[in-house]
């Protein structure tokens, strides 16, 4: 019913008013008595005028005047009445009866139906256009020419389309579609101007041209609240790989207001933050990187500060996080398999001949010792394990009896044989524990079978056959401990002690030196009562190797040993070492 009353009011007002006015206001729609016949259509701008009537207090004369309230825009139009809309503030002040006037250029409109009817009759339906007489012999198919021109414009640029319509107007100056064509050309020209203006603004370096558009675009982004502020927007980063740099990209919503910005980062537990200046990238991006050295521990804390304005006044404000409440990135644990360590496996084989009385094979204080072991380095929690076996075989006895017998038969003053022939075959395993990078403890239990011949038979294998007179058989158990100070593959000092039941005691200090990679050197001092539990003696051993390939080197061993100044001898041996 309300709509019906408005239509009646509009119809009556349209016939009663001489000047165009606001006929009615319905919500946001403002009805005015201007239409296509007045050159008004969708997009036309109308100025809203408010009439004021006042009486002069002195003369009593009635004064009338009009004041401009603002501009309203036509959204749709009929032949005599149009509907316009205004911004919310102005719309509150519009009342029926306010006068309006057209402030934009008048536009020409053609009724499509009338145009088609006129075209069928060879006449122009709307505003007449100057024509020339057409003879029957020169009849032109205006519709076909217009249709061909329209098809040629499809998919073409605005400039090419304008050129094609101009060709049609030149070829068919009497076309009944001239007004529609000129309107289309005007629209295309407006589009070209609008496009050129947009391109010019896009190429502009002025922040006044760019910042409003960027702010409008970034306002449409949906991001997590804790990463969105009035100045910067950044995507959420939750986890990082240890030791790898973290690249961050920030979108500035109003780049013209940001003079400079800084990224602050620190690993968990660090005393302070490391500051990095953000670098501009393009129109609205700022980029920064958290150094890989800071990506350690369980997390990385970070925040961003911005200096706004143009003057360099040093005033900065946190915009993403803060020093007191930083954001955090979780640092993942390293799950990659560690690279294979070189020299994880080692084989050592060595043979020593030890002569304490200088008689070589004719003496009574000599022995042979051979060992072969296999080492594998686990690195942690047990640094290395060694498995091996060895044999120690020789003669021994009291040095005073050996030295006092003029016949070198190891007989005492009573004519009793005092020396023993022994053979000890044993196996062992050794565990090495790395206490510190340059400190290692090695513990080696060992066990074996001990055969002792107390008779001077002159042979070393008598007790292995059926002749067992004077032979003793027992088990030998022992332990050896060593402490290494220094790098395993470099210069180090090894201190050790070994105790084996029925075999003897060994105390040692070994200095390992690597003057260069091709010549490993070892100098060892030992104190021992082997091969039988009798007098202690001192051994000085030099082991010098030659390494021509990384996986193998042989070495020569030379030693001097003595139980006293008159009971000594020189001996030697060799060793083979394999690494891979």
What average pLDDT does this structure show over 512-537? 92
CA dihedral over 179, 182, 186, 192, signed as positive or negative: positive
Beta-bridge partners for 448: 426, 476
Cα 31 to Cα 22: distance, rounded to the nearest angstrom: 6
Strands 327-331 and 239-240: parallel
Query: What does the pLDDT read at residue 134?
Result: 37
Give the burial class of 100: count Cβ atoms within 10 A of its Cβ; 0-12 exposed, 13-18 middle, 19 or more buried.
Answer: buried
Of 565, 361, 332, 574, give the one whose Cα is nearest residue 458.
361
Cα 421 to Cα 400: distance, rounded to the nearest angstrom: 17
The string of pLDDT tens digits covering residues 65-86 is 777 888 999 999 888 889 999 9
Q: Name the token pair of 172.
A: 């068919």
The string of pLDDT tens digits covering residues 117-141 is 566 555 544 444 433 333 444 467 8
Query: What does the pLDDT read at residue 124?
Result: 47
Average pLDDT, the chain: 83
Pick 494 or 38 by higher pLDDT. 494
Cα 137 to Cα 152: distance, rounded to the nearest angstrom: 28
What average pLDDT does this structure show over 492-501? 95
Residue 423 makes CB contacts below 8 A (sequence gap 6+) with: 391, 392, 393, 450, 451, 460
pLDDT for 41 beyond 70: yes
Pick 57 or 303 by higher pLDDT. 303
What average pLDDT does this structure show over 327-338? 82
3-state helix/strand/coil string of 317-330? EEEECCCCCCEEEE
Phi-psi region of 358 (alpha: psi -120 to 50; beta: other; left: phi over 0): left
pLDDT for 109 beyond 80: no
pLDDT for 4 beyond 50: no
- What is the per-residue burial (b if ≥16 Cβ within 10 Å, else e) of 388-408? bebebbbbbbbbebbbebeee
Percent of the chain past pLDDT 90, that is, above it, reads 41
Query: What does the pLDDT read at residue 515?
Result: 87
How many residues belong to the chain? 580
Strands 492-500 and 285-290: unpaired
Mean pLDDT check: name the lowest of 255-259, 352-356, 396-400: 255-259
Beta-bridge partners for 289: 247
Cα 304 to Cα 306: distance, rounded to the nearest angstrom: 7
What average pLDDT does this structure show over 427-452? 94
Phi-psi region of 266 (alpha: psi -120 to 50; beta: other; left: phi over 0): beta
CA atoms within 13 A on the CB side of 39: 10
pLDDT band of residue 226 (cuts 50, 70, 90) is: very low
What average pLDDT does this structure show over 365-382? 92
Residue with tokens 């007002």: 13
Cα 358 to Cα 365: distance, rounded to the nearest angstrom: 8
pLDDT for 39 beyond 70: yes
Global model pTM greater than 0.95: no
Range picked from 30-34, 91-95, 406-410, 458-462 for highest mean pLDDT? 30-34
pLDDT for 509 beyond 60: yes
Residue 59 makes CB contacts below 8 A (sequence gap 6+) with: none
What average pLDDT does this structure show over 546-558? 93
Query: What does the pLDDT read at residue 10?
Result: 47
Q: Name the token pair of 180.
A: 């529609």
Pick 148 or 117 by higher pLDDT. 148
Longest dimension (CA), the chain: 170
pLDDT for 327 beyond 50: yes
List C-alpha distances in Å: 32 to 184, 227, 273, 470. 27, 50, 67, 141
pLDDT for 203 beyond 70: no
Pick 235 or 477 by higher pLDDT. 477
Mean pLDDT check: name the lowest of 17-21, 271-275, 418-422, 465-469: 17-21
Range picked from 104-118, 309-323, 424-438 for highest mean pLDDT? 424-438
What average pLDDT does this structure show over 552-572? 93
Strands 552-564 and 537-545: antiparallel
């Amino acid at each position: 019913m309300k709509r019906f009353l408005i239509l009646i009011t509009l119809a009556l007002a349209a016939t009663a008013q001489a000047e165009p006015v606001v006929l009615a206001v319905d919500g946001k729609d403002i009805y005015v008595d201007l239409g296509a016949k007045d050159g008004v259509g969708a997009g036309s701008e109308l100025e809203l005028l408010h009439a004021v009537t006042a009486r002069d207090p002195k003369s009593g004369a009635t004064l009338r005047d009009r004041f401009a309230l603002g501009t309203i825009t036509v959204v749709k139009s009929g032949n005599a009445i149009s509907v316009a809309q205004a911004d919310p503030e102005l719309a509150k002040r519009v009342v029926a009866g306010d006068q309006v006037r057209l402030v934009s250029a008048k536009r020409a409109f053609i009724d499509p139906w009338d145009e088609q009817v006129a075209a069928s009759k060879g006449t122009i339906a709307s505003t007449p256009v100057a024509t020339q007489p057409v003879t029957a012999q020169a009849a032109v198919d205006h519709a076909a020419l217009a249709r061909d021109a329209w098809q040629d414009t499809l998919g073409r640029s605005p400039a090419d389309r304008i050129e094609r319509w101009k060709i049609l107007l030149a070829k068919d100056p009497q076309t009944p579609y001239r007004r529609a064509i000129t309107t289309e050309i005007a629209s295309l020209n407006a589009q070209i101007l609008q496009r050129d203006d947009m391109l010019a603004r896009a190429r502009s370096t002025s922040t006044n041209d760019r910042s409003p558009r960027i702010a409008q675009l970034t306002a449409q982004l949906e991001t997590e609240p804790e990463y969105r502020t009035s100045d910067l927007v950044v995507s959420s980063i939750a986890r990082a790989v240890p030791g790898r740099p973290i690249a961050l990209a920030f979108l500035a919503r109003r780049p013209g207001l940001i003079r400079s910005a800084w990224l602050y980062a620190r690993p968990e537990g660090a005393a302070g933050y490391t500051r990095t200046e953000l670098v501009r990238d393009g129109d609205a991006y700022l980029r920064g990187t958290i150094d890989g050295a800071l990506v350690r521990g369980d997390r990385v804390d970070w925040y961003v500060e911005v200096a706004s304005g143009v003057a360099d006044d040093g005033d900065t404000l946190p915009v993403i996080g803060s020093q007191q409440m930083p954001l955090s990135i979780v640092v993942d644990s390293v799950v990659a398999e560690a690279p294979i360590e070189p020299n994880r496996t080692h084989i050592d084989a060595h043979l020593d001949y030890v002569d304490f009385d200088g008689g070589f094979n004719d003496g009574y204080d000599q022995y042979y010792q051979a060992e072969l072991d296999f080492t594998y380095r686990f690195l942690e929690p047990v640094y290395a394990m060694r498995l091996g076996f060895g044999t120690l075989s020789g003669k021994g006895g009291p040095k005073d009896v050996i030295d006092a017998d003029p016949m070198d038969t190891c007989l005492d003053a009573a004519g009793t044989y005092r020396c023993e022939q022994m053979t000890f075959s044993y196996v062992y395993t050794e565990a090495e524990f790395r206490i510190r990078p340059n400190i290692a403890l090695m513990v080696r239990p060992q066990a074996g079978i001990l055969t002792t011949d107390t008779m001077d038979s002159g042979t070393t294998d008598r007790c292995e056959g059926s002749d067992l007179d004077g032979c003793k058989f027992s088990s030998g158990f022992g332990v050896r401990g060593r402490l290494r100070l220094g790098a395993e593959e470099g210069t180090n000092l090894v201190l050790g002690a070994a105790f084996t039941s029925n075999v003897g005691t060994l105390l040692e200090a070994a200095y390992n030196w690597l003057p260069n990679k091709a010549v490993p050197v070892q100098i060892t001092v030992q104190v021992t009562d082997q091969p039988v539990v009798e007098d202690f003696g001192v051994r000085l051993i030099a082991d010098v190797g030659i390494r021509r390939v990384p996986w193998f080197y042989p070495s020569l061993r030379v030693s001097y040993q003595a139980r006293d100044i008159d009971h000594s001898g020189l001996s030697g041996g060799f060793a083979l070492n394999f690494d891979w």
